Structure 1
Amino acid sequence: MTAATPRTEREAVEIQRELARRVRVDQPMVDPPRFVAGVDVAYESDSSAAGRLAGAVVVLDLADNLPVVASATATGVCDFPYVPGLLAFREVPVLLTVLDLLTVRPDLLVCDGYGVAHPRRCGLASHLGVVTGIPAFGVAKTAFVSTHGEVPPERGGWADLVDDGEVVGRALRTRTGVRPVYVSAGHLIDIAQATEVTLRLTPHYRLPETTRLADRACRGVSRHG
């Protein structure tokens, strides 16, 4: 798998706008997902600087108590500048390398970031979903461009994420009394199904198991070279 490599910020924005035109988040997946992959990237030093980074993908079986069925890691060099809203151009290349190494093809990708809850409706999950053709959504720790009303305090409670009058995701409570996460559909999945999968991936913690395990894997590679 390959992705377009922009030379300038302006080129990146144009590529992102073109990708956004191909995003589809109006329907759930036709077949319920079984193999769900968490993807994450760790930087060797400051995430705003150029340099080496590590990517990881960990695939869990959603139908069987979330065991790990496949995983892969890779390192790469990040040479695109740090620009809020364009972080996918720093991370997608190494993630495509890692996805090519997997022995199990995921049915669904879960990104530590955003889908359409993004200024140009094309966060990491949308970008990666369009490039790979694999359904994808994002679960972020903080809101980016959107706002929301009060989220009910119990697990499963949610409120719409709204940006410029458009609903772009949900603030979702995955643990009762714990601050919410921010879910947005990325590509080939809708927000209702993304919410359902997020709750299935959070039986014990605020963040999905996919995110927790992928984060651990890529940080381990980053620390040890």
Structure 2
Amino acid sequence: MTESWPTSPEEARRLQERLRDQVVTEDRLGPVRAVAGADAHYAPVQGLTWAAAVIATFENLELEESVLACQRTAFPYVSGLLSFREAPTMLDALARLSRTPDLLLVDGQGIAHPRRLGLASHVGLLADIPTIGVAKTRLVGRYEEPGPARGAWSPLLHRREVVGAVLRTRPGTRPLFVSPGHRVGLSTAIDLVLRCTPRFRLSEPIRLADRLSREHAP
């Protein structure tokens, strides 16, 4: 898969512009019974990217399956082009799962991105899985701080467009930046992320994938 990926920032931005209109930002998903999480980390000394994908039950978030993939880190770090650095390995990990999940949560941006094609949208589009971006930090946009209670949120605005939600998943902690990835609308994304985040700040499928990928990318 990596042979067909852009090798320069200019090519990557042009591809984002071509793909952005293919992203679906309304609900096109069925019942959610199995939810996946995906995350990636780097081993810079070895020049490797490790990506983990997990599947948990949606009802009680119990881990059912986890897989790892590793590839050479082939694309430099450029703001707004993270998917070209992480998506090839993340897609490899997703392909190793024994089944396709009903929903995917990705540690990264969905459409809350300068060209509306962040990591979650790119991965969701290529894998054709309903996907939500759940990022720990903001990439673009402005917002009012949401209220302190769990479930409080405020819209994330960029160029006069609502591109996501700034969502408080736990009282007294920093909010997360939730945005549609592919085939999930914003209101549904907020509800699903909250249901996948019962105890900690991070959604449980992402937290599990984060822990697994970190074990191999110190």
Partner of 1:220: 215
Partner of 1:5: 5
Partner of 1:77: 72
**How do 1:144-163 residues align onto structure 2 when only pairs under 5 Å count?**
144-163=139-158
Partner of 2:48: 52
**What displacement does 1:95 show?**
1.1
Which segments of 5 or more consecutive residues in structure 2 lack a partner in the other structure?
none
Partner of 2:24: 24
Counterpart CA distance in 2 for 1:83 and 1:5 is 15
Give the 3 Å change call, closer, same or farther, for CA 140–3 of structure 1 in structure 2.
farther
SS at match of 1:116: coil
SS at match of 1:171: strand
Partner of 2:97: 102
Counterpart CA distance in 2 for 1:135 and 1:2 is 23
**What displacement does 1:141 show?**
0.7
2:29–2:102 contact (8 Å) kept in structure 1: no
1:16–1:120 contact (8 Å) kept in structure 2: yes
Partner of 2:189: 194
**What displacement does 1:124 show?**
0.4
What is the TM-score of this pair, normalised by structure 2? 0.95
CA offsets 1:67-92 (integer angstroms, 9 cap, x no match):
11111001110111111000100111
Supply the RMSD in Å over aligned alpha carbons.
1.6
SS at match of 1:153: coil
Give the 3 Å change call, closer, same or farther, for CA 104–70 of structure 1 in structure 2.
farther
The answer to whether residue 137 in structure 2 is matched with residue 142 in structure 1 is yes
Q: Percent identity?
A: 44
**What displacement does 1:2 show?**
7.2
Give aligned pairs, total: 218
1:141–1:182 contact (8 Å) kept in structure 2: yes
SS at match of 1:215: helix
Which segments of 5 or more consecutive residues in structure 1 lack a partner in the other structure?
none
Counterpart CA distance in 2 for 1:81 and 1:66 is 34
1:34–1:62 contact (8 Å) kept in structure 2: yes
Counterpart CA distance in 2 for 1:78 and 1:114 is 20
Partner of 2:42: 43
